[in-house]
Amino acid sequence: MFSLVATLLLAAASGWHAEPAHTPHAMVVTEQHYATQVGVDVLRHGGNAVDAAVAVGYALAVVDPCCGNIGGGGFMLVRMHDGRERFIDFRERAPLRATPPLYQDKNGNLIPGLSTKGYLAVGVPGTVMGLERARTEFGTRSRAALMAPAIALAKDGYLVGTADARVYKSMPGDTIKVGDTRTQPDLAATLTMIARDGPNAFYRGPIAQAIVAASNANGGILSMKDFASYYVNELKPVHCSYRGYDLISAPPPSSGGVTLCEILNVISPYPFARWGWNSVESAHYVVEAERRAYADRNTYLGDPAFVRNPVAQLLAPHYAATLRASISASRATPSSQVHPGLGAVARENAQTTHYSIVDSAGNAVAVTYTINDSFGAGVIAGNTGFFLNDEMDDFTSKPGVPNMFGLVQGTRNDIRGGKRPLSSMTPTIVTRNGRLFMVTGSPGGGRIITIVLATLQNVIDYGMNVQDAVNAPRVHMQWLPDVVEYEPGAFSAQAIQQLQAMGYTLKEVPSWGSAQAIVIDPKTGMRLGGTDRRRPEGLAAGY
């Protein structure tokens, strides 16, 4: 059993213990320090958290090209200080001509790479319309003012840091070194058009025209109708509670909030604080809950415009009790023996980025958006200056066959024209007794849900500060494959031996994800920010 003191000693010895940033009024946490500074400047000059989120979103499109984007899509979770909540869905949509066998040959076999590289992998981007919806509904500043910092970064350039250069090594068609000043005149021109003309420039004007022309010339199926018919959804967030905290999270077409809440419902009775961080007992029960929740995630969830999502059933207390009762106290349950718990259904990644913002009034925003794989589909249309997503890989290209994240999904997430692929993005806001407590989220493909889960548990169950909570080594299980992945330092040698003796297959893998979190000190109101050590260019800052 590890006490909090023992956990902190382990953290210090392993090099991941650190103190969070402290600010009294407002906090911005992103994985790119230039973008964080843009957000802080907006807040200092009277903008609110949504204004800052829009400015950060565009800034990341410049300084974080692997992941920040205007060529992809995602979700924004907003909680205003007066209690208003919105989940803004600007997830990509499949082209209208897309069909279930899009990536299969005439014999029904998947064609490697077709859903991940090139124009056939591209879904209709949603970021520009999503950021504009948030700004017009909740923001206080003009589009031009909020986009000006991103345009300046693209036009004048920014200094490339060591960690940036490592990421850029995999950038198609570019060689960027540490110390370079990276300018992007094409992207500056594109952003200037959007700042002036709004979403029309992107969805009905020259930007859409350039993307469609490149798609037509390179085997894609995007059309001007795909862009003109794109729309943003506003949905009710998913709610659940855990140890007296109220969680607000992502509903379908994200699986994140439902799966996170299902896991929390199952594990809520267990005494993790007494068992200790990543002890054998703690790991066993969390992994078994994850195994069962991912089986449900991969089977039942999809775009609510196309399928009925059984959210109430999956989050019902009696269902959690049923799953809990199926967990052996001393043995791993093979995934081959774990089946989706609601029975049959009627037929009907990893390069993402997350940022969290809290302003002086207590407005909170959690944004997770993506172009899916690193640098998306690896293509830039004409002189638009930004990478396009390969989000089509998030669909079920063929039932029973894993996608790039190893997720084995069912027909509810099959490819249909105009459909949004199921996501794992999990932007989450936590309150207690009606007061804002925490804002968090992460990239990481199918691992996002377990990253957010671990960050929450690290704070709530294990008493870690928010910086340690995002730094701590992680563990992941997603039903299939039947493997427990763990980062270096997640388990002691003795715990590994005991878990293997219980029937677990363990696999140490390099670090994943990039959690960006804020905690509000309930006594002082101080904003405490934690930016993930896995992205060293990140920054938690405020005023």
Domain CATH for 260:
3.60.20.40
Q: Is residue 327 part of a domain?
A: yes
pLDDT at 2: 52
Q: Is residue 402 part of a domain?
A: no
Output the DSSP codes for 219-232.
T----HHHHHT---
CA 256/CA 259 separation, integer angstroms: 5
Q: Is residue 433 part of a domain?
A: yes
- Into how many domains does the chain fold? 1
- Arithmetic mean of pLDDT, 411-416: 94
Q: Are 436 and 442 in contact (CB under 8 A)?
A: no
pLDDT tens-digit readout, 8-64? 767 776 789 999 999 999 999 999 999 999 999 999 999 999 999 999 999 999 999
- Arithmetic mean of pLDDT, 376-401: 95
pLDDT at 3: 62
Q: Are 441 and 469 in contact (CB under 8 A)?
A: no
Over 50: is that where the pLDDT of 346 sits? no
Q: In the structure, what pLDDT confidence band is assigned to residue 451 with cuts at 50, 70 and 90?
A: very high
Q: Is residue 536 part of a domain?
A: yes
255 closest CA partner among 457, 454, 53, 450: 450
- Arithmetic mean of pLDDT, 271-298: 98
- Arithmetic mean of pLDDT, 319-333: 98
pLDDT tens-digit readout, 67-101? 999 999 999 999 999 999 999 999 999 999 999 99
Strand partners, 90: 74
| Strand boundaries in 32-91, DSSP class E | 73-79, 85-90
443 closest CA partner among 75, 137, 197, 164: 75
Output the DSSP codes for 157-179.
-EE--HHHHHHHTT-TT----TT
436 closest CA partner among 510, 371, 517, 317: 517
Q: Is residue 158 part of a domain?
A: no
What is the pTM assigned to this prediction? 0.96
- Please give the residue range of the domain that contains residue 268: 4-21+239-349+425-542
The structure tokens 């729309």 sit at: 231
pLDDT tens-digit readout, 469-506? 999 999 999 999 999 999 999 999 999 999 999 999 99
pLDDT at 351: 66
- 414: which DSSP letter? B
Q: In the structure, what pLDDT confidence band is assigned to residue 173 with cuts at 50, 70 and 90?
A: confident
CA 80/CA 519 separation, integer angstroms: 16
Over 80: is that where the pLDDT of 114 sits? yes
Q: Is residue 185 part of a domain?
A: no
Q: Is residue 192 part of a domain?
A: no
CB-side neighbour CA atoms (13 Å) of 194: 30
- Arithmetic mean of pLDDT, 359-367: 98
Q: Is residue 130 part of a domain?
A: no
To 10 degrees, what angle do helices 127-138 and 49-63 make? 160
Catalytic residues: 352
User: What is residue 192's three-state secondary structure?
Assistant: helix
Share of the chain above pLDDT 90, in %: 90
Over 50: is that where the pLDDT of 348 sits? no
